[in-house]
Structure 1
Amino acid sequence: MKMQYGAYIAMAGIGLYAMFVGEIISVFYFMSDQTFATFEPESKILQFISIGAAPGLVMSGTSYMLARKFGSKQIGWLVIAGGIVLLVGMSYAYTILDSIDKDYQVFTVIITPPLFIVVSIPVMIVGALLFRIKKRPKKYF
């Protein structure tokens, strides 16, 4: 079965979500163990959002836009998988929040996991919208 361009774009979105989750979890662990140097978590978290989560959302949206006219179960499942990666990863990151040093528990750090848990739900809904398959019009010429 030949894959559509939207499927490759959706796979890139999954990769970007996984990268973002890995970055957030690793920086949260760093902040929970870190006691010897100064560290600005706001700028690092915003950097991770701009290089991981934001492009991942763009990839999911692009996949949806490419496949929305006729629907695609394959692309729908890939977009839903990206939402699940984001949901599970941010749920785990949320459990690490209590172990982070109080000096680093700033607004950006505290809001990131719940914000992206909420963002993952519409991503999965958009993927589910692609399950509506419509018949392609016949082209005679």
Structure 2
Amino acid sequence: MQLEYWLGLGSIAFFVLFVLVVSSLYIFMFDDPNTSDLPIDPDNFANPKLLQFISITIAPGGILAAVAFILSKYYGSKKIGALLIIDGLVLLGGMAFCQTLIDDIAEPYITDTVLILPPLFMGLSIPIFFFGIRLMKVRKPRPKKEYF
């Protein structure tokens, strides 16, 4: 298999991991920190964790998706385009799910980062769709005929 295919599969894995860790963090924040057994400072909990999850999961996944696109943009590939579209679907669906969880989060955990993260990444899934569709529409160049 080609390198681009494996990079596309790796980007899907990172995108799924990002959706899973962000949704699990949002579900963890349902409990009020004042009644919890764990000593958690809500002011210094959500923002650093979300930034850590972004740097560990979605940044490498985006880089892998971009490299897969760059490697296959000249000859086009329906497989790689489909993988990029799956990346966009995973990100859009997962962040839509996280957006529904915001209403249940305890009040001390609500910060600007918690509120803006799902819509931001839902918006970032649109360029991923665009590049996936663009990659699927690229036609392979015909070989030039040598007449002489």
Taking structure 2 as the reference length, the TM-score comes to: 0.88
1:28 to 26, 29, 44: 26
1:90 to 95, 103, 108: 95
For 2:96 and 2:72, how far apart are their aligned partners in 1?
29
1:135 to 132, 138, 141: 141
Residue 38 of structure 1 is matched in structure 2 by 40
For 2:121 and 2:46, how far apart are their aligned partners in 1?
17
Aligned length: 138
For 2:2 and 2:111, how far apart are their aligned partners in 1?
43
Q: Once the 2 structures are TM-superposed, how far is the Cα of residue 137 of structure 1 from its aligned partner?
A: 3.6
For 2:142 and 2:85, how far apart are their aligned partners in 1?
24
CA contact (8 A) 2:26 2:102 kept: yes
Q: Deviations over 1:32-83 (max 9, x none)?
A: 1243232410000000000111111111101100000110001000011011
Aligned-pair identity in percent equals: 39
1:4 aligns with 2:2: yes
1:110 aligns with 2:115: yes
Taking structure 1 as the reference length, the TM-score comes to: 0.92
1:50 aligns with 2:52: no
For 2:93 and 2:108, how far apart are their aligned partners in 1?
26
CA contact (8 A) 1:70 1:136 kept: no
CA contact (8 A) 1:18 1:85 kept: yes
Q: Provide structure 2 residue ranges, at least 5 long, that are not aligned to the other structure.
A: none
**CA RMSD after TM alignment:** 1.6
For 1:88 and 1:10, how far apart are their aligned partners in 2?
18
1:76 to 57, 66, 81: 81
CA contact (8 A) 1:24 1:45 kept: yes
